[in-house]
Amino acid sequence: MLVAGAAMAAPWPSKPVRIVNPFPADGAADIVARALAQRLTEQLGQSFIVENRTGAGGNLGTEVVARSAADGYTLLLGTDHLTISRALYPKLGYDLFRDLAPVSLTNYGPHVLVAHPSFPADTLAQTIALAKA
């Protein structure tokens, strides 16, 4: 019984952890990923490395994580692209609910909808009605 208990409690992380950012360097997601990696490295004493895997609106990097080993050593910096991709792309290389599991909310920020002053709608409700028409 004592041997089984010792085998179950392996320390994490025991090797470097990849944080896949599915967007280009120097963007908002990259700033968050690098700040997060730095803090996790300091707090957990193991390297957290940001890897930018861009393309297809974040889907390429997301697919890399979805196909990686389910061992906690490859993390995805998920953004609203996860929701948007499900609506835009009928055939993704991953299933959001089967292949990925949420770990933590890292940050949040406001989203703003803007348009040219000549756009005929002034509110979100008017924009939706215009889109439906």
Q: Where are the domains of the chain?
A: 12-132
pLDDT band at 108 (very low <50, low <70, confident <90, very high): confident
pLDDT tens profile 73-100: 999 999 999 989 998 998 999 999 999 9
pLDDT tens profile 8-44: 667 899 999 999 999 999 999 999 999 999 999 999 9
Contacts of 48 (CB under 8 A, 6+ apart): 16, 17, 18, 19, 36, 37, 38, 40, 41
Average pLDDT over the chain, rounded to an integer: 92
Rg for the chain, CA atoms, rounded: 19
pTM (2 decimals)?
A: 0.78
Fold of 12-132: D-Maltodextrin-Binding Protein; domain 2 (3.40.190)
